[in-house]
Structure 1
């Protein structure tokens, strides 16, 4: 389920700032004739949101897995 722990994760803030910069650059530099198409903006926003959250969860999964493996290996003598 959803929790506030996401906002405490620095991976989220790194990706959010990067995503906002990319979104602003996309809005500024995309030609008007592309933005005027009816389905382009909702479809691109959907793709953008899916990429953001999938990147966040993959990064979190592999980072936690690496941390878990490092702590398990350090206990062996």
Structure 2
């Protein structure tokens, strides 16, 4: 049985523009956000976050696992 998030989701943003992504080169890694944010209740997941597999399905999954561990 899944959790119904419809009543708990206030807003969302789908990133789908080439300029919304940072370069994958090493010197730009500091620009990528971590999964944990200073905003209570906001946790990020996706291949654009800090994780070892850039722009891959593995990166998205790895980031999702890291985000899930932050949910309490």
Which structure is richer in relative contact order (CA contacts within 8 A, separation 6 or more)?
1
TM-score w.r.t. the length of structure 1 is 0.28
More helix by share: 1
- The higher radius of gyration belongs to 1
